[in-house]
Amino acid sequence: MMSLEQFENRNVSESGYYKVDIESYPETGWEKAKQVFSRAIRGELFVGLWVVMREMIKFDIHTVQYPKEKLPVGPRYRAVHEMQRLWESGTERCIGCGLCEKICISDCIRMDTKIDENNRKVVSEYTINLGRCIFCGYCAEVCPELAIVHGGRYENTSEQRAHYTEYDDMLTPFDMALKGEVPEYPGFGAVTPHEDERVKSTPLAY
Amino acid sequence: METAYFIETIIKIVVILLVFSALAGFGTYFERKILAFMQRRLGPMNVGPFGVLQIAADGIKLFTKEDIVPTNAVGPIFKIAPVITAATAFMAAAAIPFMPQFTIFGYTVHPIVADVNIGILYILGVMAVGFYGPLLGSLASSNKFALLSAARAAAVFISYEVVTGLALLAPLMMVGSFSLIDFNNYQAGGVGDWIIWSQPVAFVLFWIAAFAETGRTPFHLVANDHEIIDGFGTEYSGMRWGLFFIGEYANMFFISFVIVLLFLGGFGDGSVFGALMFLLKMAFFFFFFLWTRAAWPDIRPDQLMWLCWKILMPLAVLNVVVTGFVMMF
Amino acid sequence: MEAIAFYTFAILTTVMFLITVLTNHALYALSALAAGMIFISAFFFMLGADFLGAIQIIVYTGAVMALYAFGMMFFDTTRTVVESRTSPQIIFGLSGVAALTIVAIFVAPIISGNITALYPAIDGVGNSQMVGMVLFTKYLIPFEVAAIMLLVAMIAGIVLAGKKMDQSLTLMKDEVECETKEKENV
């Protein structure tokens, strides 16, 4: 599972910067000749040859063969949405409140709800137009039940400009949920770590 | 006898054509792989095991692509230019002995198409004609970047012809023959007899000039990478562009053969070991073309001219003079 | 065999040089000239003068390439050049001379039956060796004179072309910048 640790150190430029010593241009013929000879004798060309040869012998390949291997994305990356289930019962978390539809600034979420035989409100239809979605994350922020979250699927190839993702595709498969294979979701839309310390008690007379 | 000779020559020509067209293809594969490894990449991996069949994929792509001749281009010359490059590259191979002579079914085969007694001059001449390919192609394609490339090509080729010729003069004086077989026999005595020990300056000069003549990286000014486009090949597409490519790679192979034959003993005494060493030495020089491409930056045209006329040419002349004095006394 | 080769290359050479003269297109003319020069070397090869053939190729490819460089500078090589014919008399005169020359060339073989080669090719001696022997014995003085002339031409070329060679473009200050600085100083 993805974790935040490897993304936490953002100080990429702490070390490794130094000023390049640029020589002044040679002016006289004698200085030019000296430059040529010093460069020829220092064997800079061979240093270059050695460096690439060393890398070839070390064979420390950094290629990611993309369709076969994928780099991990950050857990808080906002890619295609997912619908979560409850941990133990596997019931759908979505209660059909419609807040995500309301808050969506690009107006790409559509939902229909109905009252089922148990007198509970359930989602009958739920689509997100990914062609319009700007992946702002408001839907995941506003969701009171932590039902809609942003997952890690970033491949959005499609045959048409407006392509949709349906409720059933976003929903965590039921058997996975029953087997307990749905861990606590750490990504965007989830409760951030140390949330308890940041929660302030609301006065009753507010 | 006459017919046997005729048939033998035809077979040799066909074999050389096929082997080196295929090798040119494999050359692109090796180049991509080696460059990739040196830059910590993998190179082609998806077509076939380790991407070997990438050559076939590229071939199919090149052959089936649309052949575009731009509206304002000079049609006939635009079309013939790539053919000049490829054809002259293979014509140059006629005077190169690729292996020591061997006997098969009681018939002695000399793996050289034509043992003319001016072999090295012939190779230089035909390679010089090969420069017309990029030059004509870029002049005819009515594209200003191609025209700039043509200007650079003309300057580089004319200049480095001088260095090649002068660098070769000293070893030629020692051997006293233009034939590559005579060169080989001169050095047949073993490693100690190689001309590189007596003519190190000529060797280095010829090697440097070989980079200019094949248009490889430190002197890759014909197709200038800095302009992001392909110089003389800007307007070319499909197999015409592919012919330029085959010509370039075939030239790299042939000049590697020539360097080994001239300075590094060729195939020695003609044993199987000698032949294997010959191919190995050739492979090293081919590899070096790719190695420098990974390691070294291109130099500016004015630096190239400066290097040619102020460093290499005087050195070559000095080398000839010194060799002359040493041979005289 | 030799006759076929001779006539093929004769026709090819003539056609190439005709194109060179008759076309209005700089690129066609130059390419045809180069091709013609290379086809001429075929005659040297047929006569057993391998060395001269190879030299013909090397020298004339370089020379024509220099012509290409000039063509590049003076013309748009992808367009036809519009020529203005100011004096028809000269054209008439020159073409007359050319016609006479062609007649002379075709008549020449009739007289040339009894020409013998001054330096016939000797079996077993390399072509280059023979050229070297003749060049450095009988024709030594013309050879050296030609060398001196080329040296003179080269030095003259360098002197003419190299007037501002000691100035470095890299170190050249921007003129505007210098002027503003001068004003500031004042």
Output Rg (C-alpha) for chain B, integer angstroms: 20
Tell me how far apart the alpha carbons of residues B316 and A81 are, in angstroms, rounded to a whole number.
Answer: 71
Residue A56 with chain B: CB contacts under 8 Å: 34, 37-38
- The pLDDT, as a whole number, for residue A87 is 74
- The pLDDT, as a whole number, for residue B184 is 84
**Helix runs in A59-201, H state only:** 99-103, 138-142, 167-170, 174-178, 195-198
The residue type at C32: A
Q: How far is C176 from chain A (nearest CA, A)?
A: 22
* Test the B interface: residue of C24, C28, C31 with most B CBs within 10 Å: C31
The shortest CB-CB distance from B132 to any of C28, C34, C58 is to: C34
Tell me how far apart the alpha carbons of residues C144 and C91 are, in angstroms, rounded to a whole number.
Answer: 38
pLDDT by position in tens, chain C (length 186): 778 888 999 999 999 999 988 888 888 888 898 889 888 988 888 887 788 888 888 888 888 888 887 877 777 767 777 777 778 888 889 989 988 998 888 787 777 666 666 666 666 566 677 778 888 888 899 999 999 999 999 899 888 887 776 666 666 666 555 555 555 555
pLDDT digits (tens, 9 = 90+) for B282-305: 999 999 999 998 888 888 888 888
Low-confidence ranges of chain A (pLDDT < 50): 1
DSSP string, A18-85: ----PPPPP-SHHHHHHHHHHHHHHTHHHHHHHHHHHHHHHT------TTTS-PPPPTT---SEEE-B
Q: Chains with 3 or more CB pairs closer than 8 angstroms to C?
A: A, B
- The pLDDT, as a whole number, for residue C125 is 62
**Interface A:B, Cβ pairs < 8 A:** 38
% of chain B exceeding 70 in pLDDT: 99
Which of C:109-168 have CB within 8 Å of B? Answer: 126-128
Domains of chain C, residue spans? 2-82+118-185
Question: Is domain C2-82+118-185 in CATH 1.20.120.1200, yes or no?
Answer: yes
The structure tokens listed for B131 are: 């420069």
Q: Closest chain B residue to A60 measured between Cα atoms?
A: B40
Residues 6+ apart with CB under 8 A from C140: none
Tell me how far apart the alpha carbons of residues A127 and A112 are, in angstroms, rounded to a whole number.
Answer: 9
Tell me how far apart the alpha carbons of residues C131 and B306 are, in angstroms, rounded to a whole number.
Answer: 34
Rounded to two decimals, the ipTM of the complex is 0.81
Give the 3-state secondary structure of residue A171: strand
The structure tokens listed for C134 are: 């003749």
Tell if the CB–CB gap between C69 and B151 is shorter than 8 Å: yes
* Test the A interface: residue of C167, C168, C172, C173 with most A CBs within 10 Å: C168
Interstrand relation of A81-83 and B102-104 (parallel, antiparallel or unpaired): unpaired
Q: Chains with 3 or more CB pairs closer than 8 angstroms to B?
A: A, C
Tell me how far apart the alpha carbons of residues B33 and B21 are, in angstroms, rounded to a whole number.
Answer: 19
Query: In whole numbers, what is the pLDDT of chain B averaged over residues?
Result: 85
Residues 6+ apart with CB under 8 A from C15: none
CA C122, chain centre distance (Å): 30
Tell if the CB–CB gap between B40 and A36 is shorter than 8 Å: no
Low-confidence ranges of chain B (pLDDT < 70): 1, 106
φ, ψ of residue A34 in degrees (nearest 5): -60, -40
Beta bridge partners of A81: A150
Tell me how far apart the alpha carbons of residues B90 and B110 are, in angstroms, rounded to a whole number.
Answer: 18
Which is nearest to A56 in space by CA: B95, B19, B36, B223?
B36
Domains of chain B, residue spans? 70-328
